[in-house]
C-alpha cells in the first residue's frame, strides 16, 4: 500500500433516502432509486479508500443497508452493541467506510477516551462531554439582550474517531458534523439596512447562540487534539467533515464574534506540530467551495458558494522525513473538491436525482520514501 485516498462527503438526508427506497409508493421509490444510482456512480468514480459519510442514515442497520446500495465495494467500521455509544442525536449520523481489502486494521475510539482527553486538555472545563457556555437571550416582552450565564452545551452529533493501523503506524481520522448555524427565529427582510441588527434583537440572540455553540464544539475537538499530543507529540491526526462554518468572517462574525471557525480549530502556530494544515491550501481558490447556499438573507451581498466541508491534518503528515514523523505524508496538490465528478454525475439527471447538495472533498496521502543512511 503506497497511498490512500480519504474522501468526506455530506450525502444530503441519506436517512430519508433509505426510507424512500422502501416506500410502497412506486413513484417515490423510483425517484429514490435514481438518486441512489447517482450516489453510487459518484462514489465509484471518486474511488476513495476511506469514505467519511456525513449526514448518513440513523443506526447501524440502516447504515449497512445504505452502504450495500451505494458502495458495495466498501465496508463500514461499526461499534456494535448499544447505539448510544455513538453519542449522536437525530437522524444525521456519521459513518466511516473502508474499501474492501484495504490492508489496515480499524476501530472507532470509545467516547469515554475522548472525554477523558478533553477533560484533561481543558483543565476540567469540559467534563463528561459537556461544558459551560454563555450566550445572549431575549426575555419575553423585553427589548434588550442579556447574557445567560452559564448555560451548558455538548455535541448533538459527537465526533467519531477512526483509528487506522497501517503497517504498525497509527493514523486517526476525526469525523465531524458540527452544529448548524440555521436560525430558529425567522429572518426579517431588509438585511441591507445598517441598523438591521439593532431593530431585531431576537434574531441577534438566535444567531449568536447558534454560532457560540458551534464554536465551543470546535474548541472541544481542539481539546481532543491537544490531549493526544500530551502523550504523542507527533500524533498523526486528520480532521474531516462538515464544520458548518461558511466562508470565514461573514457578517455576523464580523459584527459580534470577529473570528472564523477554522482558525480556532487549526491551533496556534507557536506550537507548530499541533497546527492543522488544510487539504485545499494549494487548490484553486475560485473552486474552493463545497456548497451553494443561494442568497443569504442575513448577508445578501456575499458569494453563495461556501466551503463547509474540510480535511485538515497535523504536521506529522507533512514535510520531509524526520524522527517521529508519520510514515504517511499529505501529497502536494493532493487535495481537491470533486467538482468535475459531481458535475458529470448530477448534470445528466433531473433535480430530484441529484446525489447531494454538497460536493465531496478528497485528499491523497502517500507513503514516505525510505530514509537512506
Query: For residues 176 and 362, what is the distance between their CA atoms, to the nearest angstrom?
Result: 15
Q: What is the pLDDT of residue 266?
A: 87
Q: What is the pLDDT of residue 165?
A: 97
Burial (0-12, 13-18, 19+ Cβ within 10 Å), 330 = buried
Query: For residues 110 and 94, what is the distance between their CA atoms, to the nearest angstrom?
Result: 15
pLDDT along the chain (373 residues), means of 10: 97 98 98 98 98 98 98 97 94 98 97 97 96 88 84 96 96 96 87 89 90 92 95 95 79 78 80 86 94 83 89 93 91 97 97 97 93 53
DSSP string covering 286-298: GG---EE----SS
Question: For residues 132 and 107, is the Cβ–Cβ distance under 8 A?
Answer: no
Nearest to 51 by CA among 98, 91, 15: 98
The alpha-helical segments, DSSP class H, found in 103-241 are 111-121, 196-199, 201-231
Q: What is the pLDDT of residue 373?
A: 46
3-state SS class at 207: helix
Question: For residues 356 and 291, is the Cβ–Cβ distance under 8 A?
Answer: no
pTM (predicted TM-score): 0.94
Would you mind telling me the total number of residues written for the chain in this entry?
373
Please name the residues in contact with 133: beta carbons below 8 A apart, sequence gap of 6 or more: 150, 151, 152, 153, 212, 213, 216
Q: Is the dihedral of CA 235, 236, 241, 246 positive or negative?
A: positive
- Which helix H or strand E contains 342, and what residues bound it? helix 339-347
Query: For residues 248 and 164, what is the distance between their CA atoms, to the nearest angstrom?
Result: 31
Total Cβ atoms within 10 A of residue 47? 13
Cell, residue 130: 459537556
3-state SS class at 6: strand
Nearest to 46 by CA among 337, 366, 368, 357: 337
Q: What is the pLDDT of residue 219?
A: 94
Q: In the CATH hierarchy, which fold is given to the domain comprising 3-367? A: Deoxyribonuclease I; Chain A (3.60.10)
Residue 311 to residues 46, 51, 307, Cα–Cα distance (Å): 16, 12, 11
3-state SS class at 90: coil
DSSP string covering 23-69: -S-HHHHHHHHHHHHHHHHHHHHH--SEEEEEEE-SSHHHHHHHHHH
Query: For residues 99 and 49, what is the distance between their CA atoms, to the nearest angstrom?
Result: 5
Cell, residue 344: 458529470
Q: What is the pLDDT of residue 248?
A: 61
Amino acid at each position: 500500500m503506497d497511498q490512500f485516498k480519504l474522501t468526506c462527503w455530506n450525502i444530503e438526508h441519506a436517512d430519508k433516502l433509505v426510507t424512500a427506497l422502501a416506500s410502497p409508493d412506486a413513484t417515490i421509490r423510483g425517484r429514490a432509486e435514481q438518486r441512489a444510482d447517482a450516489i453510487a456512480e459518484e462514489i465509484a468514480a471518486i474511488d476513495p479508500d476511506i469514505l467519511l459519510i456525513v449526514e448518513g442514515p440513523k443506526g447501524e442497520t440502516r447504515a449497512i443497508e445504505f452502504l450495500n446500495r451505494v458502495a458495495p465495494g466498501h465496508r463500514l467500521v461499526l461499534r456494535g452493541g448499544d447505539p448510544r455509544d455513538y453519542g449522536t442525536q437525530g437522524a444525521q449520523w456519521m459513518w466511516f467506510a473502508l474499501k474492501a481489502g484495504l490492508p489496515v486494521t480499524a476501530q472507532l475510539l470509545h467516547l469515554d477516551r475522548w472525554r477523558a482527553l478533553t477533560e484533561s486538555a481543558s483543565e476540567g472545563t469540559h467534563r463528561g462531554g459537556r461544558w459551560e457556555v454563555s450566550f445572549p437571550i431575549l426575555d419575553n416582552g423585553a427589548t434588550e439582550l442579556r447574557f445567560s450565564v452559564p448555560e451548558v452545551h455538548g455535541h448533538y452529533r459527537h465526533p467519531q474517531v477512526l483509528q487506522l493501523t497501517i503497517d504498525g503506524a497509527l493514523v486517526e481520522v476525526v469525523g465531524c458534523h458540527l452544529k448548524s448555524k440555521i436560525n430558529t427565529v425567522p429572518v426579517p427582510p431588509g438585511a441591507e439596512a445598517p441598523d438591521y441588527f439593532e431593530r431585531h434583537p431576537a434574531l441577534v440572540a438566535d444567531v449568536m447562540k447558534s454560532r457560540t455553540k458551534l464554536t465551543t464544539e470546535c474548541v472541544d475537538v481542539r481539546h481532543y487534539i491537544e490531549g493526544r499530543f500530551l502523550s504523542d507529540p507527533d500524533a498523526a491526526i486528520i480532521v474531516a467533515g462538515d464544520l458548518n462554518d461558511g466562508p470565514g468572517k461573514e457578517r455576523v462574525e464580523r459584527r459580534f464574534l470577529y473570528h472564523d471557525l477554522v482558525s480556532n480549530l487549526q491551533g496556534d502556530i507557536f506550537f507548530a506540530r499541533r497546527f492543522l494544515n488544510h487539504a485545499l491550501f494549494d487548490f484553486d481558490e475560485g473552486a474552493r467551495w463545497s456548497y451553494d447556499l443561494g442568497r443569504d438573507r442575513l448577508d445578501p451581498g456575499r458569494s453563495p458558494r461556501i466551503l463547509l466541508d474540510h480535511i485538515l491534518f497535523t504536521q506529522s503528515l507533512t514535510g520531509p522525513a524526520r524522527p517521529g514523523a508519520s510514515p504517511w505524508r499529505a501529497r502536494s496538490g493532493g487535495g481537491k473538491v470533486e467538482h468535475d465528478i459531481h458535475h458529470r454525475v448530477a448534470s445528466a439527471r433531473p433535480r430530484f436525482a441529484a446525489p447531494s447538495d454538497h460536493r465531496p472533498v478528497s485528499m491523497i496521502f502517500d507513503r514516505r520514501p525510505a530514509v537512506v543512511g
